Structure 1
Amino acid sequence: MKNISKSLSKSALLCLIGTFFFISIDSFAQRHGGGNRGGGATHTRPAVQPRPGANGGGIRRPAANSGNKVTRPANSTNKATRPSTGNRTSVNNNTNRSGNRNTNISGNTVNRNRNNVNINVNNSVHVRNNRNTYVRPAPRPYVRPPYVYGGYRYNTFHPYYYHPYRPYYWGPVWHPWGFFVATLAVTAIVVSVESTQYHYDQGVWYTSSSGGYTAVPAPVGGTVNNIPSGAQTVNTGTVNNYYYGGTYYEKDGSTYKVVAPTAGTIVESLPEGGEEVTIGDVKYIKFGETYYQPVQVDGKDKYEVVSVEEDK
């Protein structure tokens, strides 16, 4: 009997402990959603979505050392750079540093001293004055026979000695016939000759033309107070003339008067604007209707004013 009571007591205790154990397990399962109660559906919390980029998911930022990364060009051969200074063009003087200088585009020159632009040189300028129509006769008779050709006689005192025509440079302020300037220097003066108005400046004579002034042959009779200091003294056989840039002056009191050239006068140089013409077997230098024969005097190349007469 006593043994039976002990067995029942042990069985009751085991049942009690088992019941408590199952109740604890069920409560834990319901609390954490890990079990079914009474055969019902299991309720679980939704899985937490990882943030983009977390654990490898979502959109990744470019890796620091990625081969496809976008970077700023650093010393790249394809990057855009400013033009090197070696090829740049100067705005101030329109020069290319590579050696090509655009100073002269049309062939016209600029007189920098007086800001005058040579637009056109017309060697066929015709001015109504006798500078181009006659040469004053020689003061003494010719002892040499003339050169006769084409119905004219060409008289000189010296034998013909050909040398090429090389125009003499009279300086930056001198201009040949036909030279056009837009403005004149403040030193220019107005001179009236036979009802025609001229402008004279430093040995050059001008007439007004459309938009400016054109250099012309000096008008015979034109009188000025001063002539350029570079004028040469030449002997006509009777008096001295002052020769500058192809123009002859004679002293007239305190002034200088333009005169026609005298046949036989020897000059050392001729200005720009002459024309080398061939007459028969000889070559002369022609300015308007004035002819110069190449000669040699004392071993130096010079020019003599030719007397041209109709052969009757």
Structure 2
Amino acid sequence: MKNIKRNLRKIALICLMGSFFLISFDSIAQRGHNGGNGIRGGAKSRPAVNRPANQSRPAVNRSTTRPGSNGSGTKINRPSNTSNTNINNRKANINNNTTRNSGNRNTNISGNTVNRNRNNVNIDRSRNTNINIYNNRNTVVRRNTVVVYNRPPYRYGGYRYNTFHPYYFHPYHPFYYGPVWHPWGFFVATLAVTAIVISVESTQYHYDQGVWYAPSNGGYTAVPAPVGGTVNNIPSGAETVNTGTVNNYYYGGTYYEKDGSSYKVVPPTAGTVVDNLPEGGEEVTIGDVKYVKFGETYYQPVQVDGKSKYEVVLVEEDK
């Protein structure tokens, strides 16, 4: 009897274990059938939605308009290639301007250094401008009536060249009067604000720091100072020279005499000795003598007290 009960218990236990095994296997099979996602029984698929065949989404224009940056909602049209084109054009213009400017600097500026603080004056070294109409006889030497020449003149080509001092050759080295001084024929597009207008014999000139200008070809050309032109001030670097009668004030090839509180332009006086000559002179050889010529005025190289100087020559026709 005991054996029967024991066997029945075994059978019941085996049946219970078999049922549990079958249930576990069925659960595993169902999970595999639903996709095997391992998420609480597997993922469920959405039911299919049928769309009409001719239905399409509205087109959205994203390249042509954009809301305004100020929040107003204003649409701004932006062409696709405009910005790149403008940038390229700006770069091209910058390169072109740089090239032109550097070319102008190398071509137009030489000799005297240009003062770039004077309104960026545009300067051309061309000397083709006819300046003879502005001479006003200021390059014609006036005779010294006080001193008598004690030396025989140098004669050549039908002319007499009178000087007080013997000829002493030394090379012509133009004196540098500073960046604001310019020789005759020097062209500027604009003048500094310090320039003043002076009328001499119905002709208008512009004077600025020792240089006289006349209107020319859309700008101004440095010209010989007109005799009779009067200014209130002359440059502080003017040299005092003795003509034998009165003192003259000499600066950059121009002679001034004191006239009350002003200074008046006068012709050079024969026999006047100056320390330096400015740029713009021309060395000319006459016979055995080499002079420096400014306009119609001849300067002879001389030596005074051991220093190289220049004397204004009196030129006369040899009759």
Report the TM-score range of the alignment, normalised by the length of the smaller protein: 0.5 to 0.7
Kept in 1: contact 2:239–2:250 (CA 8 A): yes
CA offsets 1:190-228 (integer angstroms, 9 cap, x no match): 111111110001100000112110000000000000000
Where structure 1 has 5 or more consecutive residues not aligned to the other structure, the ranges are: 1-89, 96-100
Q: Determine if the alignment matches structure 1 residue 105 to structure 2 residue 106.
A: yes
2:264 corresponding residue in structure 1? 257
Query: Which amino acid is the alignment partner of residue 234 of structure 2?
Result: I
The answer for the alignment partner of 1:125 in structure 2 is 131
Offset at 1:102?
7.2
Instruction: Give the length in aligned residue pairs.
Output: 218
Match of 1:266 in 2: 273
Q: Which residue of 2 aligns with 1:247?
A: 254
Q: Which residue of 1 aligns with 2:242?
A: 235
The CA deviation at 1:174 is: 0.4
Deviation of the 1:118 alpha carbon:
2.0
Deviation string 1:20-79 (CA, Å, 9 cap, x unpaired) is xxxxxxxxxxxxxxxxxxxxxxxxxxxxxxxxxxxxxxxxxxxxxxxxxxxxxxxxxxxx
Give the aligned partner of residue 50 of structure 1. Answer: none
Q: Which residue matches 1:285?
A: 292
Higher helix proportion (structure 1 or 2): 2
Aligned pairs (5 A) from 1:1-312:
104-109=105-110, 110-114=114-118, 115-122=120-127, 125-126=131-132, 127-312=134-319
Residues 203 and 228 of structure 1 are in contact (CA less than 8 Å); yes or no, is this contact kept in structure 2?
Answer: yes
What is the alpha-carbon distance in structure 1 between the residues aligned to residue 202 and residue 117 of structure 2?
32
SS at 1:140 equivalent: coil
- Give 1:272's aligned amino acid: E
Amino acid at match of 1:164: P
Q: TM-score, normalised by structure 1?
A: 0.66
Give me the whole-angstrom Cα distance separating, in 2, the residues matched to 1:231 and 1:212: 27
Say if 1:138 and 1:264, in contact at 8 Å, map to a contact too: no
Aligned equivalents of 1:113, 1:289: Cα separation in 2: 34
Structure having the higher Rg: 1
Rounded to whole Å, the distance in 2 between the matches of 1:128 and 1:243 is: 17
Deviation beyond 2 Å, 4+ runs, structure 1: 101-105, 107-111, 132-139
State the one-letter code of the partner of 2:300: Q
Quote how far apart the aligned CAs of 1:111 are.
3.4
* Equivalent-residue separation in structure 2 for 1:143 and 1:136 (angstroms): 15
- Shift in Å at residue 132 of structure 1? 2.5
SS state at 2:149 partner: coil
Task: Give distance in 1, aligned partners of 2:228 and 2:209.
Answer: 17
Displacement of 1:184: 0.7
Output one character per residue of 1:117-137: Cα deviation in whole Å (capped at 9) or x when no partner: 221341762125011334343
Q: Do the aligned partners of 1:174 and 1:204 also contact (CA within 8 Å) in 2?
A: yes
Tell me, which stretches of 5 or more residues in structure 2 are unaligned? 1-93
Change in CA separation of 1:226 and 1:112 when aligned onto 2, cut-off 3 Å: same
Q: Aligned equivalents of 1:274 and 1:294: distance in 2?
A: 13
Contact 2:282 2:294 in 1 (8 A): yes
TM-score (normalizing by structure 2): 0.64
- The alignment partner of 2:138 has SS state of helix
CA distance in 1 between counterparts of 2:103 and 2:123 reads 17
Q: Equivalent residue of 1:197, what SS?
A: strand
